[in-house]
């Protein structure tokens, strides 16, 4: 069923991971999709696998206002309108405490994860008012429950949650809904890179499975299905919602992974990613 037939989606971070799965879901549901990324290689790879007249690729950085103003204008020029803005682009580094995080690292993660939403909204809100459109933000479970050794990242996701609710109130009079999706662990290229950097690589996969009470760490398609619901008419009376897609990971603490004999290393940090 094409529940997004003739809709136009402006999707940031859409060439990898959750974003790529969302792009495929939106297209299959009948949407035209403008995919924004700042990664040339990733854009090229994605275009080779996923390209037709209803998919439009734009090289742009969400942290740069002129890039996003240009991307919004290009999308409208190409497709004629924008119905949905999905703010999926995000970075998770550095894996540090507050005091160990440099000014440059702090600014980078905030400029992408939070200011990116500011930029797409600032330059896209006029188009959404015309279509009574939708804004969807990709947040994270850690924005609610916290996470050790990821102070800047968790701070940005907490900000995304609060921003989502404020925007829902601000734009409801225009018929615009604003929601966020909050995954826990999701197998994306970013998570796989992080997993390979951990000191106990052999146990990471089982660890990531076990932190979810449903018993497994999902692929991005699980999150994409929920995103499709939130941007469709099926969720027409849902706004200001931070919807967990977490397999129950937030419901309580359990000691999931035994340490190897003689190993005093602490358990690895869960990595919630875009």
State the catalytic residues: 153
The three state secondary structure string of 44-85 is: HHHHHHCCCCCEEEEECCCCCHHHHHHHHHHHHHHHCCCCEE
153 to 91, 108, 111: CA distances (angstroms): 8, 10, 11
Judged by DSSP in three states, 271 sits in coil
Cα distance between residue 75 and residue 53, in whole Å: 13
Cα distance between residue 17 and residue 252, in whole Å: 27
- Phi, psi dihedrals of residue 5, rounded to the nearest 5°: -55, 125
- Which run of H or E residues covers position 182? strand 177-183
Cβ atoms of 233 and 3 closer than 8 Å: yes
- Phi, psi dihedrals of residue 155, rounded to the nearest 5°: -65, -40
Cα distance between residue 165 and residue 121, in whole Å: 14
Cβ atoms of 84 and 133 closer than 8 Å: yes
């Amino acid at each position: 069923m094409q529940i997004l037939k003739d809709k136009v989606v402006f999707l940031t971070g859409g060439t990898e991971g959750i974003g790529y799965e969302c792009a495929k879901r939106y297209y299959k549901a009948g949407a035209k999709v403008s995919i924004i990324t700042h990664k040339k290689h990733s854009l090229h790879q994605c275009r080779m696998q996923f390209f037709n007249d209803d998919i439009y690729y734009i090289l742009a950085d969400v942290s740069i206002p002129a890039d996003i103003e240009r991307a919004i204008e290009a999308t409208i020029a190409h497709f004629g309108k924008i119905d949905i803005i999905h703010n999926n682009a995000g970075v998770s580094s550095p894996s540090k405490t507050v005091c160990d995080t440099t000014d440059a690292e702090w600014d980078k993660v905030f400029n992408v994860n939070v200011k990116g939403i500011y930029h797409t909204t600032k330059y896209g809100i006029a188009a959404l008012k015309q279509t009574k459109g939708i804004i969807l933000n990709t947040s994270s479970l850690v924005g609610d429950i916290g996470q050790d050794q990821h102070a800047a990242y968790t701070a940005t996701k907490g900000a995304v949650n609060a921003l989502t609710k404020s925007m829902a109130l601000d734009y409801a009079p225009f018929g615009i809904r604003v929601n966020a999706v909050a995954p826990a662990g999701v197998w994306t290229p970013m998570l796989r890179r992080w997993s390979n950097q951990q000191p106990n690589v052999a146990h990471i996969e089982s660890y990531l499975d076990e932190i979810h009470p449903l018993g497994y760490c999902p692929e991005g398609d699980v999150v994409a299905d929920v995103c499709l619901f939130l941007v469709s008419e099926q969720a027409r009376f849902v706004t200001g919602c931070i919807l967990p897609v977490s397999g129950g990971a937030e419901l309580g603490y359990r000691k999931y992974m035994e340490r190897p004999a003689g190993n005093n290393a602490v358990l690895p940090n869960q990595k919630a990613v875009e």
